[in-house]
Amino acid sequence: MSGDGASSAAGVRMIRRIALLRAEDDAEATAAELAARGFEAAIAPAIEIHTLPAALPQGPFDALVATSPRAIRALSATDRAKLATIPLHVVGARAARAARDAGLAFADEPAADAAGLAERLARTLPPGARLLYLVGRDRKPMLEAALAAAGFSVEAVELYAAEVRETWSGRETGAVAGCDAALHYSRRTAAIAVTLAARSGLAERFRLLLHVCLSADVAEPLAAAGAARIVVAAAPDEAHLMTALERAAGPSPKG
């Protein structure tokens, strides 16, 4: 496993076709970004997104918390209006953009990560503050645990579910088989992609791809599956992920 300054052996200049395993709507946005950088994307989602019927708990709340742009986008227009005046704390630029689009009110600049957000809230909000956390059904528990440990009352409302796909289609299988590299944004989808590749008869081909990962945590299921060509972004955001890909892939034919 290497940092984003690493380059692999001879032939890296041929890396132009990239597998995208994230949910289809996110993958389409990433595909446009890749195209602008001279890459071709093959979309083969590991998960499917379903909006959940959710009722907001009764307020009042001292603050909103969100780490997922998808949770914000899943709010109904009525719920957005109800929450519009509550100070919102988010993680990452993508969640911040979704919040602006939804008309929600920022309390502060986006935090870099969940740990940083928990530390900020512990400094700025009084113990016992009531927080509404906008989430997906499948999520890591660390932020909720940290906020509870800081003495906050945290109520999570599950707005969407990221369902595991059982198989790739024949078209998707063929598309992944023709790729040179894969981008990985989450540990969960990386692990699911390993399973899907095996079910599709692509286990060995998938291991041989260059795997460009958002973080070392994301890379772990790939390393455990035997992938040897793994590059980790210098920081866990899309800009650094793209930089890691470009450095590993070599010059674009676009110049």
Domain ranges of the chain: 12-46+167-249, 49-163
12-46+167-249 and 49-163 agree in CATH topology: yes
Sheet holding 230-232, edge to edge: 40-43, 17-20, 181-184, 210-213, 230-232
Higher pLDDT, 163 or 252: 163
For residue 6, pLDDT over 50 is answered with no
Preceding omega of 221 cis (within 30 degrees of 0)? no
d(Cα 177, Cα 47) in Å, to the nearest integer? 19
pLDDT reported for residue 94: 85
Label residue 179 left, alpha or beta by phi (over 0 means left) and psi (-120 to 50 means alpha).
beta
Q: What is the pLDDT of residues 179-201, one digit of tens each?
A: 999 999 999 999 999 999 999 99
Give the Cα separation of 134 and 187 in Å (integer): 20
**pTM of the complete model:** 0.80
Q: Is 230 helix (H, G, I), strand (E, B) or coil?
A: strand
Position 254 scores a pLDDT of 53
The C-alpha atoms of residue 233 and residue 185 are separated, in whole angstroms, by: 10
* Band (47; pLDDT cuts 50, 70, 90): very high
pLDDT the model gives residue 251: 61
pLDDT tens per residue across span 15-36: 899 999 999 989 999 999 999 9
Query: Which one is the CATH code of 49-163: 3.40.50.10090, 1.10.10.10, 3.40.1440.10, 3.40.50.2300?
Result: 3.40.50.10090
- Closest listed residue to residue 33, CA positions, set 183, 235, 228: 183
Which class is domain 12-46+167-249?
Answer: alpha beta
**163-176 pLDDT tens trace:** 999 999 999 999 99
- What is the pLDDT, as a whole number, of residue 4? 53
| Per-residue pLDDT reduced to its tens digit, 92-132 | 888 999 999 999 999 989 998 888 999 999 999 998 999 99
